[in-house]
Amino acid sequence: MKKIALLAIAVLSLAGCQTPENTLVRVAAHDSFVISEELVAQFESDTGYELEILRQGDTGSLTNQLVLTKRAPVADAFFGVDNTFLGRAETEGVVKGDAVAIDYSDVCFNYDIAWFQEQGITPPQRWRDLVNEDYADLTVITNPNFSSPGLAFLASTHAAFEAPGELTQFWEDLRDNGVKVAGSWEDAYFSDFTRYGGSRPIVLSYASSPAAEVNEDGSAGSAALLVECFRQTEFAGVVAGSANEAGAQVFVDFLRSPEFQASVPESMYVYPAVEGVAVPESWAQFATPATSTLGEDLDINAFRDTWLGDWSEVFDG
pLDDT for 21 equals 80
- Same domain, yes or no: 207 and 235: no
Other beta carbons less than 10 A from residue 171's beta carbon: 19
- Same domain, yes or no: 53 and 28: yes
**Residue 191 gets which letter from DSSP?**
I
237 and 98 Cβ atoms separated by less than 8 Å = yes
pLDDT for 19 equals 58
User: What are the C-alpha distances in Å from 160 to residues 126, 155, 164, 293, 312?
Assistant: 12, 9, 11, 10, 19
- Same domain, yes or no: 172 and 297: yes
Other beta carbons less than 10 A from residue 297's beta carbon: 11
Q: How many domains does the chain have?
A: 2
| Chain centroid to CA 63 | 12
Give the range of the structural domain holding residue 181, as residue numbers without chain letter.
106-229+293-315
- Same domain, yes or no: 119 and 78: no
- Same domain, yes or no: 186 and 209: yes
pLDDT for 13 equals 41
Q: Using CB atoms within 10 A of its CB, is residue 1 exposed (0-12), middle (13-18) or buried (19+)?
A: middle
99 and 235 Cβ atoms separated by less than 8 Å = yes
In 3D space, the residue among 248, 247, 229, 230 whose CA is nearest the CA of residue 238 turns out to be 248
pLDDT for 317 equals 75
- Same domain, yes or no: 81 and 192: no
Q: CB under 8 Å to 44, separation ≥6 — which residues?
A: 50, 51
User: What are the C-alpha distances in Å from 179 to residues 105, 139, 151, 204?
Assistant: 24, 5, 16, 11
Q: Go through 61-89 and write b for each residue having 16 or more CB atoms within 10 A of its CB, e for each that does not.
A: bbbbbbeeebeebbbbbbbbbbbbbbbbb
d(CA 63, CA 146): 9
- Same domain, yes or no: 212 and 260: no
- Same domain, yes or no: 122 and 182: yes
pLDDT for 146 equals 86
- Same domain, yes or no: 190 and 302: yes
pLDDT for 20 equals 66
With H, G, I as helix, E, B as strand and everything else as coil, classify residue 308: helix
pLDDT for 17 equals 40
Helices and strands, number each (H, E), in the chain? 12, 10
- Same domain, yes or no: 136 and 54: no
- Same domain, yes or no: 146 and 165: yes
The tens-digit pLDDT sequence of the chain (317 residues) is 434 443 443 444 444 445 568 999 999 999 999 999 999 999 999 999 999 999 999 898 999 999 999 999 999 999 999 999 999 999 999 999 999 999 999 999 999 999 999 999 999 999 999 999 999 999 999 999 988 899 999 999 999 998 889 999 999 999 999 999 999 999 999 999 999 999 999 999 999 999 999 999 999 999 999 999 999 999 999 999 999 999 999 999 999 999 999 999 999 999 999 999 999 988 989 999 999 999 989 999 999 999 999 999 999 97
- Same domain, yes or no: 185 and 169: yes
Q: Please give the backbone phi and psi of residue 192, each rounded to the nearest 5 degrees, phi first.
A: -95, -30
d(CA 206, CA 229): 9
Domain CATH for 194: 3.40.190.10
